[in-house]
């Protein structure tokens, strides 16, 4: 009987305040999730072993990635000089990488693509965003259809000179 009385009381109460509270809580949760998944900052880069996708290898050195990159808020640039996405900067290290400044673009709500290219050869990282660890696929490619791929893991890291 008690449950029946409570059910009747619920039916007579307006649902609008309850629905508004639910939508507000969901929006706040979504906004908080977006904040925690910001890619801005430094990331250590750990690729797996690259393998040829079809039959053609890429140029020597193309699969050597920098060990530390920074995803920035400033505009990124294509090899043509046009603005695209945001800047990615590879810190100089002993890896011998050919990649320095590139760009990244957000893809949907939880993916991002990092790109380095001179128009003839390039590297693309397709990553699932996370606040601490991003995982995905690295693809080195050439204009003559050479392609090699590897799994890749990026971990949040301290930026050089940051205090």
Is pTM beyond 0.95 here?
A: no
Residues 68 and 96 sit within 8 Å (Cβ to Cβ): no
Tell me: the pLDDT tens digits for 84-96?
Answer: 999 999 998 888 8
**CA 64/CA 104 separation, integer angstroms:** 18
- Which pLDDT score is estimated for 96? 86
The answer, yes or no, to whether residue 155 has pLDDT greater than 90, is: yes
Which sign, positive or negative, has the C-alpha torsion 114, 116, 120, 124? Answer: negative
- Which pLDDT score is estimated for 130? 87
Tell me: the pLDDT tens digits for 10-66?
Answer: 444 443 343 334 444 444 444 444 444 789 999 999 999 999 998 899 998 999 999
- Which pLDDT score is estimated for 32? 43
How far is Cα of residue 160 from the mean position of the Cα atoms in its chain? 20
- Which pLDDT score is estimated for 162? 62
Residues 118 and 98 sit within 8 Å (Cβ to Cβ): no
Give the number of residues written for the chain.
Answer: 163
Tell me: the pLDDT tens digits for 93-151?
Answer: 888 889 999 999 998 889 999 999 999 999 999 999 988 999 999 999 999 999 999 99
Residues 126 and 111 sit within 8 Å (Cβ to Cβ): yes
Run of H or E including 16: helix 16-36
């Amino acid at each position: 009987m008690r449950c029946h009385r409570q059910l009747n009381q619920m039916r007579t109460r307006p649902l609008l305040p309850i629905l508004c509270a639910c939508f507000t809580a969901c929006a706040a949760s979504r906004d908080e999730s977006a904040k925690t998944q910001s890619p801005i900052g430094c990331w250590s880069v750990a690729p797996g072993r690259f393998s040829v996708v079809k039959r053609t290898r890429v140029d020597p050195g193309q699969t050597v990635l920098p060990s530390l990159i920074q995803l920035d808020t400033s505009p990124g640039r294509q090899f043509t000089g046009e603005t695209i996405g945001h800047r990615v900067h590879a810190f100089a290290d002993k890896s011998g990488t050919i990649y320095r400044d590139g760009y990244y673009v957000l893809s949907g709500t939880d993916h991002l693509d990092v790109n380095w290219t001179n128009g003839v050869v390039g590297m693309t990282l397709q990553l699932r965003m996370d606040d601490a660890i991003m995982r995905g696929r690295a693809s080195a490619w050439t204009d003559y259809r050479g392609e090699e791929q590897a799994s890749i893991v990026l971990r949040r890291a301290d930026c050089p000179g940051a205090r």
